[in-house]
Structure 1
Amino acid sequence: MAPSESIEYEWIDGVERLEVYEPGGYQPVMINDLLHDRYPVLDKLGYGVNISSPSLPRRESSIIRALSGSSSTFQAAHTAIGARDAIPSILDEFDIQGPNGTYACYTLAPAQGNLREASFSLFPIQVARALAAKLTTAVSFVHSQGFVHGVIVDIHLRNVLVKFPSTFDELSIDQFREKFGEPELIPISRVDRKPLPPNIPSQAVLPLYLGKKAQEFTLADARGLVLSDFGEAFAPATGQRLGKDCNTPFPMRAIEAVFDPDAPLSYPSDIWSLGTAIWEILGMKFIFSESETRDAIVAQQIGVLGSRHFPPSWQKYWEQLITEQMGKDE
């Protein structure tokens, strides 16, 4: 197949973009594949995590290892409330070679889902408070080690996971299948009905949901909170991210990223994301409207926070907005 040839596949709802199964894209993985001569693939928890590309640094695993191996006064003082165990630990790390390239892989303990997936209802209030406290402790620990979680992939409920109870590790493969069912497979086909190329699997796998509803969460679940997704984490002392580098959706974006786009971002942007995440844990609704215009969202932020919390540059933005509105009213 020529690299420039574009192939269209029949749409399958709930799975990854099949067109990304190409050189430099996703690795075809099927149920019962054996990775690294050790790890059998039982099911699929999600997708879109990694592609084969030499331009993508392996920063996430190195940052997780740095956090997991951290030794500090903060860590010692917060062991009792589980600061460090809210950070994932890498169990193994290896490369696999496939038809679309070489892939960096690492194994982590599985989680029963993220908090956004659980948001069919409200968390019990004591559980919500415990989740907020554990998430705050996790972010504080990350900051104490000199890292910012990220300004492109920030702190939100989809990257806040909850561990399984220890009994999950005791399940055999047959017991796992009995408890969670067989994988749901859907045949992949091209729009033009031609044979599939070798760099795409023959079947798509729908993600398996292992979680539960918010109302069913317990304090034990809250103690198992894990902050994940450190692929865009950085150390402000050695690296720089500017406000204009922030791709977070506007309603969730820290105000300094909006009003000082050329200024470096740092720990405060994480605190902003943490605050909005805590609000969402307590109310299962984002604090600012996600369907309003940019100007309406800024007005909401000023109404909630007061203008004194905004950087000086917001005044110029606000004056320009008023001038534009007056021009429309004339």
Structure 2
Amino acid sequence: MFSSQWTSSPRKFPPPSIDVLDPSLKIEEETLPTYRPEKYYPIYQGEVLHDRYQVLAKLGYGVTSTVWFGLDLLDSKYVAVKIYVTGQGRNRELDIYNRINSVESDHPGKRFIRRLLDHFSITGPHGQHVCLVHELLGISSSELMEWTPGHAMTLEDLKPVIRQLLVVLDFLHSVARVIHTDLQLKNLLLPAPEPKALSSRTIYLSSFPPTGRGLPLLCDFGEARFGDDEHHEDIMPNPYRAPEVIIRSSWDYKVDIWNVAMIAWDIVSPCTLINGKNQDGVFDDRNHLAELVALLGSPPPHFRQRSHLSSAFWDESGSWKGSAPIPDQTLESLASNITGEDKEGFLRWLRRALRWNPEDRPTALDLLYDEWMMQGLKMRGKGDAAKA
């Protein structure tokens, strides 16, 4: 039924031609260990949500939601609709966006966060589903790296991306008081292609993979936390976890600083900095910490005193107990394939962020104005770095 407020008519889809699959074959969200079908909204292609957003295609899925390519029938533009599973209670991501949007600030970092355009709830067979409507963006940086020769960029290509990310983090930490906790390449989305307007018609630029110009925007605040609170939760993807998270200690904004270094490494190296798997191929905290000891040296006493779990890995003098072998590797040896100028400067910058004690890590602004990060940037004034 056509709504009088719509400026676009809903797309019409032909009757689906469905191949019945073997029910034992799991696909997409069905492969997740926590998957329960009744928690996900049973959407169908062409469905109009909230009398406004028509679902056209699936973009992705996860433990807490599915994401859909949609058409805003009211404003005649494409959007991304995130439909959460039931049983979420208060929606953390919506609360975080409300905090971000309530901040009146001209800080440039706010511009590089994916915008929340709308939100609403729908009722499914098993309860309520919170829906978030975001601006449509392009592919993720992790997908871009898959198509990049050698799966790595140069140190020169790295700097603009990390500069912008640090500007975003300065806004989140110092102005909005938000900790992202889940910084990784898949949560940095490139802009969508811009249409080219002519006098008589609109020509859309061809693009494969679909992406536009510009640096990636930060998205996915589903695991973000308010910085005003004290936190002990288990967060972050396994290889990216900061050491205070591994030993179940309290954590704060500085987990994001640790993650910036991990993202930077993933951009310039085809191999991850941390493997963390034991002989059975299972990610293991003992192997993770053993690798950190190889890369960073033994942790200082103050770090070991943060949690009683430290005694499982180090003795009273700080010596490694040998619960997993310390690999024979260094940052320098792992960085042998990194290309670009001043690799030594990059490793020094990396070590500033990868410190055992979170209080020893610099702020986002400190990392941004590091001598190595500023090399190659022509600045008329200090504030220009935030616009680079």
1:278-321 deviation digits (Å, cap 9, x = unpaired): 11122243211243454343232123223356713357722285
Alignment of 1:290-305 (within 5 A): 290-292=276-278, 293-305=284-296
In 1: Cα distance, 2:250 partner to 2:275 partner? 26
User: What is the SS of the residue equivalent to 1:91?
Assistant: strand
Query: What is the TM-score of this pair, normalised by structure 2?
Result: 0.59
Aligned counterpart, 1:122: 152
User: What is the SS of the residue equivalent to 1:29?
Assistant: coil
Is contact 2:141-2:188 (8 Å) kept?
yes
User: What is the SS of the residue equivalent to 1:42?
Assistant: strand
Of 217, 234, 259, the match for 1:246: 234
Does 1:255 pair with 2:243?
Answer: yes
Aligned counterpart, 2:76: none
In 1: Cα distance, 2:312 partner to 2:137 partner? 46
Aligned length: 261
Pairwise CA distance, 1:27: 0.5
User: What is the SS of the residue equivalent to 2:144?
Assistant: coil
More strand per residue: 2
Pairwise CA distance, 1:267: 0.8
In 2: Cα distance, 1:322 partner to 1:308 partner? 13
> In structure 1, what residue type is equivalent to 2:263?
A
Is contact 1:94-1:105 (8 Å) kept?
yes
In 2: Cα distance, 1:129 partner to 1:89 partner? 24
In 2: Cα distance, 1:109 partner to 1:232 partner? 19
In 2: Cα distance, 1:283 partner to 1:324 partner? 28
Is contact 1:26-1:51 (8 Å) kept?
yes
In 1: Cα distance, 2:324 partner to 2:290 partner? 14
> In structure 2, what residue type is equivalent to 1:135?
L
Alignment of 1:214-253 (within 5 A): 220-222=213-215, 225-237=216-228, 239-242=229-232, 245-253=233-241
In 2: Cα distance, 1:324 partner to 1:33 partner? 54
Q: Which has the higher contact order (CA 8 A, sep 6+)?
A: 1
> In structure 2, what residue type is equivalent to 1:148?
I
Alpha-carbon RMSD across the aligned residues, in angstroms, is 3.3
Is contact 1:241-1:264 (8 Å) kept?
yes
Of 169, 173, 180, the match for 1:139: 169
> In structure 1, what residue type is equivalent to 2:165?
L
Is contact 2:290-2:324 (8 Å) kept?
no
Aligned counterpart, 2:195: 167
Pairwise CA distance, 1:70: 1.7
User: What is the SS of the residue equivalent to 1:71?
Assistant: coil
Aligned counterpart, 2:380: none
Is contact 1:60-1:232 (8 Å) kept?
yes
1:114-158 deviation digits (Å, cap 9, x = unpaired): 1112222223554322111111211221111211113xxx21112
Is contact 2:84-2:129 (8 Å) kept?
yes
Aligned counterpart, 1:322: 321
In 2: Cα distance, 1:169 partner to 1:256 partner? 51
Change (3 A) 1:67 1:17: same
Structure 1 residues without counterparts, runs of 5 or longer: 1-7, 181-208, 213-217
Of 41, 50, 63, the match for 1:27: 41
User: What is the SS of the residue equivalent to 1:141?
Assistant: helix
Change (3 A) 1:316 1:17: closer
In 2: Cα distance, 1:160 partner to 1:60 partner? 16
Pairwise CA distance, 1:266: 0.5
Aligned counterpart, 2:376: none
Aligned counterpart, 1:215: none
In 2: Cα distance, 1:271 partner to 1:96 partner? 37
In 1: Cα distance, 2:197 partner to 2:235 partner? 37
Is contact 1:96-1:105 (8 Å) kept?
yes
In 1: Cα distance, 2:98 partner to 2:266 partner? 29
Of 29, 32, 43, the match for 1:16: 29
Pairwise CA distance, 1:10: 3.6
User: What is the SS of the residue equivalent to 2:138?
Assistant: strand
User: What is the SS of the residue equivalent to 1:84?
Assistant: helix
Change (3 A) 1:139 1:169: farther
User: What is the SS of the residue equivalent to 1:43?
Assistant: strand
In 2: Cα distance, 1:52 partner to 1:95 partner? 11
Does 1:281 pair with 2:250?
Answer: no
> In structure 1, what residue type is equivalent to 2:214?
D
Does 1:44 pair with 2:30?
Answer: no
Change (3 A) 1:322 1:301: same
Is contact 1:87-1:228 (8 Å) kept?
yes
Query: What is the TM-score of this pair, normalised by structure 1?
Result: 0.68
In 1: Cα distance, 2:196 partner to 2:125 partner? 34
Change (3 A) 1:312 1:31: same
Pairwise CA distance, 1:325: 8.2
Change (3 A) 1:169 1:137: farther
User: What is the SS of the residue equivalent to 2:274?
Assistant: coil
In 1: Cα distance, 2:270 partner to 2:322 partner? 36
1:239-268 deviation digits (Å, cap 9, x = unpaired): 3321xx214344321111223x2x421111
More helix per residue: 1
Is contact 2:277-2:287 (8 Å) kept?
no
